[in-house]
Chain A
Amino acid sequence: MDYKVKAVLVDSAGFARTITRLAHEIIERNRGTERLAFVGMQTRGVYLAQRLARKVEEIEGTALPVGVLDTTMYRDDFRTALKQPLVRVTEISFDLYNMNVVLVDDVLYTGRTVRAALDALMDLGRPKRIQLAVLVDRGHRELPIKPDFVGRNVPTSINEEVRVRMTEIDSEDAVLLVEVQQP
């Protein structure tokens, strides 16, 4: 699918500032780092979770565990999706029991992926609390899900998309507003 960039919502410097702010908010809301852990959702949520963990360590001096979650097997659209999703790694090497888990994703949209992630997390263990951190909330929710930490609220129209790019797999750190050209 081709797309046309309509606007650069966040540039590289802004990206770093957003991560820093989110890290501070997370520490503040949780009153420190006690029993705190990050779980990133495949794919960019994982890198965001790692960056947040690094930032928290810079601020508080404690290294927090980071887990990787793939929600493919919990999706509700697997038999109607145009392309069958590849099942990716899920790796949570710490015990979720009684943890304060911050679930991290790049873009919050309909809320269906978060729903899948919550179900998956429940099957993996019994955390004390789950909070949701997203880099961008673009609206259009289809489920009653509300993020606890938001990097940026971006009202969008239905044929616009938000693309998060990260140096771990892309050439830059940026958040782009794009228009999708339907094939």
Chain B
Amino acid sequence: MSLLTHKHLLGLADYSEADITTILDTAERMKEILERPVPKVPTLRGVTVVNLFMESSTRTRVSFELAEKRLSADTLNFAVSSSSLSKGETLLDTALNIEAMKIDVVVMRHKSPGSPHFLARHLDSIIINAGDGCHEHPTQALLDMMTLRQKFGALKGLRVCLVGDISHSRVALSNIIGLKTMGAQVTVCGPATLIPRGIERLGVQVTHSLDEAIQRCDALNVLRLQLERQEAGLFPSLREYHQYFGLTRRRLEKAPAPLTILHPGPMNRGVEITSDVADSEHSVILQQVTNGVAVRMAVLYLLAGAKMPSTEMKV
């Protein structure tokens, strides 16, 4: 029986407070492993993990790959350029073909929301969502929460503000869902054109003033601005965006107390965040990266390290 109540990690939407706490606690243990002289344990020996990345991603893939190697899993990278998808094969056929090679875990990144859910219905493998379009990016939100918990001790009652393009951000959605589950207060801040409809139904506050948001939060998670949103006419210019929604030292100085700054990366320095903020003592951006490996190790251990349901029947 797994310590988690789930077979897959498709998103945080169906993970309970207890599940998330288990992951974060386990991730702290994993972090200790990463600091050892030999930062590798034999736990997932014999487990094969496929990193199915159908959308370009460097840091998430590298982070997963490192986590897999630290746990001694056999890993296989399957990137879009080397895949059959460009030859007109459907996602399902590609996935079934990979699974036929006897694999245990699929870590997947795909541009379509719900594609991990779709594969979970058709495959026996454990599916871990590494980002599905504008839907969820659960391990990113977990590592953000781990970083916040290290800084503040607990998430309950913590006031977190997500700044930027909320509409197209899987990081934002997973953070909102996860933080709300853990009892944090969440505010989203961005131009009206980048705040999705019905977001308040998820229990978050909405503001279009970054200065106002700064007055009432403990931590700011600054989202990457996809530069192509400007071409889509969602905001007038990068210049105006930076002036009204860019995080600068000057803005932060008006905060009643120093705020902790997170960014999922990669950063557009000088657009959504200035270097003096990104590199300041209150920035935990590099800590996030370290925690990312630990969180992914924890998720892999908890999902792939449990007994398979089929063998459970025999006992």
A interface residue numbers (CB < 8 A to B)? 70, 72-75, 78-84, 86-91, 119-120, 122-125
Contact = CB atoms under 8 A, between A and B. Distances in A.
Interface residues of B, number: 26
Contact of A84 (B2, B29, B30, B315): B2
Given A89-B32, A123-B36, A82 B301 contact: no
Nearest to A81: B307
A124 B315 CA distance: 35
B29 A82 contact: no
B3 interface: yes
Contacts of A83: 1
B302 A90 contact: no
A74 B42 contact: yes
Contact of A87 (B1, B29, B42, B307): B29
Given A79-B311, A80-B307, A84-B302, 19 more contacts: A70-B29, A72-B43, A73-B33, A73-B41, A73-B71, A74-B42, A75-B43, A79-B307, A84-B1, A86-B3, A86-B25, A86-B26, A87-B26, A87-B30, A87-B301, A90-B32, A91-B32, A119-B42, A124-B37
Given A83-B1, A84-B1, A78 B36 contact: no
A123 B40 contact: yes
Contacts of A124: 36-38
Contacts of A90: 29, 32-33
Nearest to B305: A78
A11 B40 CA distance: 41
A89 B307 contact: no
B305 A84 contact: yes
B80 interface: no
Given A73-B41, A123-B37, A82 B32 contact: no
User: 3 tightest A-B contacts by CB?
Assistant: A73-B41, A123-B38, A87-B29
B234 interface: no
B306 interface: yes
B42 A82 contact: no
